[in-house]
Amino acid sequence: MAKQNKTESWEYAPSLEGTSHIQLKKKYDLFIDGKWVKPTSGKYFSSINPANEELLAEVAHANEADVDLAVKAARKAYNNVWSKMAPLERAKYIYRIARLMQERAREFAVIESLDAGKTIRESRDIDVPLACNHFFYYAGWADKLEYAFPNRKVESLGVAGQIIPWNFPLLMAAWKIAPALATGNTVVLKPAETTSLTALKLAEIIEESGLPAGVVNIVTGYGDTGAAIVNHPDVNKIAFTGSTAVGKIIQKAIAGTTKKSTLELGGKSANIIFDDAPIDQAVEGIVNGIFFNQGHVCCAGSRLFVQENIADKVIRKLKQRMESLYVGNPLDKNTDIGAINSKEQLETINKYIQIGKNEGAEIYQTKCDLPKKGYYCPPTIFTNVAQSNIIAQEEIFGPVLTIQTFRTVDEVIQKANNSPYGLAAGVWTDKGSRIFNLTTKLRAGVVWANTYNKFDPTSPFGGYKESGFGREGGLHGLNAYVKLN
Ligand code: ADP
């Protein structure tokens, strides 16, 4: 645990979550057609713990031939079993997966923290319960599709290829798999290369649930494995969450094909504080929006806009709060900010911090000692930021916040919308009419009012502009996996 230098912050005794109850294999094969199969190339890569750089497991690297086997298994399962099964029966399997996940929630949470570097508080209280709830929620829809789409004939699409990132590994798998299964599709899913382990644990649960072989296939690997899924001619739909750069590659690759797609890409979301906002709550909202989960949230509130007359007060309170944040071992229940997901990501974040300094913005970082091993970044804010600065325009994906001020509502709307992205936004004010005004004018998929980073399976999520298209979650999330006649 990194000790805070500030004497006014409490020193907590370490409270480490145990790891003795988790079961991790030394080596993971591919989960194809209900069986664990070796990769045809014989290649494996290492999944390491970013908090201490120790090896957690070796994971199979799937190539085109393996992806082809997975797609064939998914097609066979779709044609012979899953598309023919009564929706009520499909729902039972999805419920079963949700319950099994719940039973092993603690194991999932610990593995997620080990593999992704996120704090145990976050994986235990947010990632895993939300992932279970997604399965519960979509299990409920499976036999009610005619109510979701009244007077329409609902058909499934076929085989869904799903590619997910490393920031919410299990949750993103749940977001993708649950609605696909509920609507009668089969799945080939690829987790991100740095965070495959909870998806592989999910495969074990899927096996235990008795889900018919081939309905869900999990193939691990790098970008080449993802590309093999995208380019496979027998995949009917691509669901991708990741960077805008890869999203554009995928768009190009599937142009002119009949493949449907939903893309959930990057963000540079605005968190807007008006002078009538409850300031202490807003400061908590800022911290929650950008520092928790190390800023590894695509909808992170990474651009803060504070009304000019309260800017000094908000920044002073924010700095005070930052000094009380614990950076360190993700498995310690006191930790607020865990490890950055990978060495590469830490390098990217540090590159942007240097860019911010070079651009003339004023930096403030808390002065905590970071652990000697592992990848860590202290909470960082930049003031004196210009709208055109790179740090205010590009996604950093780390605990780095830019702060700008504004005077009028129109000015902040213009500034907040001046971004190629449009994933989310936050508005803090006591005035209801102002909230409604901003929600209609901010070009963002989600606008939170007097809160930030709140998720629920019933609520749709997705972006505007370069943040992608299509919605996941809620009734809208079903749309992405059906053909309506
Ligand atoms: P991030 O910046 O969040 O790591 P990426 O877009 O690089 O986002 O990665 C998200 C997912 O996309 C990962 O599972 C990664 O392996 C996969 N991926 C990377 N390159 C490609 C590609 N060219 N085609 C398909 N998937 C890819």
pLDDT of the chain along its 485 residues, tens only?
444 544 455 678 889 999 999 999 999 999 999 999 999 999 999 999 999 999 999 999 999 999 999 999 999 999 999 999 999 999 999 999 999 999 999 999 999 999 999 999 999 999 999 999 999 999 999 999 999 999 999 999 999 999 999 999 999 999 999 999 999 999 999 999 999 999 999 999 999 999 999 999 999 999 999 999 999 999 999 999 999 999 999 999 999 999 999 999 989 999 999 999 999 999 999 999 999 889 998 899 999 999 999 999 999 999 999 999 999 999 999 999 999 999 999 999 999 999 999 999 999 999 888 999 999 999 999 999 999 999 999 999 999 999 999 999 999 999 999 998 999 999 999 999 999 999 999 999 999 999 999 999 999 988 888 888 889 999 999 999 999 99
Å from CA of 192 to ligand 1 middle: 7
Which atom of ligand 1 is found nearest the CA of 250? 24
For residue 8, the model assigns a pLDDT of 54
pTM of the model: 0.95
Which atom of ligand 1 is found nearest the CA of 222? 16
The whole-angstrom separation of Cα 176 and Cα 164 is: 8
Contact by Cβ (8 Å): 445, 461: yes
3-state secondary structure of 264: strand
Backbone dihedral angles phi then psi of residue 330, each to the nearest 5 degrees: -60, -25
Å from CA of 135 to ligand 1 middle: 24
Instruction: Give the mutation target among 45, 166, 246, 259 for probing the ligand 1 site: most ligand atoms within 8 A of CB.
Output: 246
Pairing of the two strands 362-365 and 380-383: antiparallel
Judge if the beta carbon of residue 249 lies within 6 A of ligand 1. Answer: yes
| Nearest Cα to Cα of residue 427 among 269, 284, 276, 271 | 271
For residue 28, the model assigns a pLDDT of 98
Q: By alpha-carbon position, which residue is closest to atom 19 of ligand 1?
A: 223
Q: What DSSP element (H or E) covers 295?
A: none
**The two structure tokens encoding residue 91:** 């729902």
For residue 7, the model assigns a pLDDT of 46
Instruction: Give the mutation target among 162, 163, 252, 395 for probing the ligand 1 site: most ligand atoms within 8 A of CB.
Output: 163
Q: In terms of C-beta distances under 8 Å and separation of at least 24 residues, what long-range contacts does 100-106 make, across chains too?
A: 100/205, 100/208, 100/209, 101/128, 101/131, 101/132, 101/135, 101/202, 101/205, 102/132, 104/201, 104/205, 105/129, 105/132, 106/21
3-state secondary structure of 78: helix
Å from CA of 293 to ligand 1 middle: 20
The whole-angstrom separation of Cα 36 and Cα 59 is: 12
Å from CA of 411 to ligand 1 middle: 36
The whole-angstrom separation of Cα 337 and Cα 122 is: 10
> What pairs with residue 87 in β-bridges?
none
Contacts of residue 410, Cβ cutoff 8 Å, sequence gap at least 6: none
For residue 5, the model assigns a pLDDT of 46
Judge if the beta carbon of residue 222 lies within 6 A of ligand 1. Answer: yes
Q: In terms of C-beta distances under 8 Å and separation of at least 24 residues, what long-range contacts does 356-362 make, across chains too?
A: 356/382, 356/385, 356/389, 356/390, 356/391, 356/400, 356/402, 359/385, 359/386, 359/389, 359/390, 359/391, 360/384, 361/385, 361/386, 361/389, 361/391, 361/402
| Nearest Cα to Cα of residue 45 among 66, 29, 65, 67 | 29
Indicate the Cα dihedral angle 334, 336, 342, 343, nearest 10°: -90
Judge if the beta carbon of residue 223 lies within 6 A of ligand 1. Answer: yes
Contacts of residue 460, Cβ cutoff 8 Å, sequence gap at least 6: 445, 471, 472, 473, 474, 475, 476, 477
Residue with tokens 């002119």: 256
Judge if the beta carbon of residue 227 lies within 6 A of ligand 1. Answer: yes
* pLDDT tens, position by position, 27-40: 999 999 999 999 99
Domains of the chain, earliest start first: 27-265+467-484 (3.40.605.10), 270-456 (3.40.309.10)
The whole-angstrom separation of Cα 197 and Cα 199 is: 5
3-state secondary structure of 344: helix
Judge if the beta carbon of residue 396 lies within 6 A of ligand 1. Answer: no
For residue 463, the model assigns a pLDDT of 87
Judge if the beta carbon of residue 192 lies within 6 A of ligand 1. Answer: yes
Q: By alpha-carbon position, which residue is closest to atom 24 of ligand 1?
A: 227
The whole-angstrom separation of Cα 38 and Cα 18 is: 31
DSSP 90: H
Contact by Cβ (8 Å): 253, 407: no
Provide the annotated active-site residues.
264, 298
Cα four-point dihedral sign 472, 284, 304, 364: negative
Judge if the beta carbon of residue 253 lies within 6 A of ligand 1. Answer: no
* pLDDT tens, position by position, 336-382: 999 999 999 999 999 999 999 999 999 999 988 899 999 999 999 99
- Integer distance in angstroms from the first to the last C-alpha of the chain? 57
Judge if the beta carbon of residue 264 lies within 6 A of ligand 1. Answer: no
Å from CA of 295 to ligand 1 middle: 18
Which atom of ligand 1 is found nearest the CA of 167? 3
Q: By alpha-carbon position, which residue is closest to atom 2 of ligand 1?
A: 243
For residue 465, the model assigns a pLDDT of 87
The whole-angstrom separation of Cα 20 and Cα 3 is: 26
Which atom of ligand 1 is found nearest the CA of 193? 16
Judge if the beta carbon of residue 395 lies within 6 A of ligand 1. Answer: no
The whole-angstrom separation of Cα 115 and Cα 132 is: 19
Judge if the beta carbon of residue 475 lies within 6 A of ligand 1. Answer: no
Q: Taking the mean position of all CA atoms in its chain, how far away is CA 370? A: 25
Contact by Cβ (8 Å): 33, 218: no
How many Cα atoms within 13 Å fall on the side-chain side of residue 114?
23
Å from CA of 276 to ligand 1 middle: 42
Q: By alpha-carbon position, which residue is closest to atom 18 of ligand 1?
A: 223
Å from CA of 247 to ligand 1 middle: 8
Q: What DSSP element (H or E) covers 27?
A: strand 27-28
Contacts of residue 436, Cβ cutoff 8 Å, sequence gap at least 6: none
Å from CA of 153 to ligand 1 middle: 34
DSSP 367: -
Contact by Cβ (8 Å): 77, 214: yes
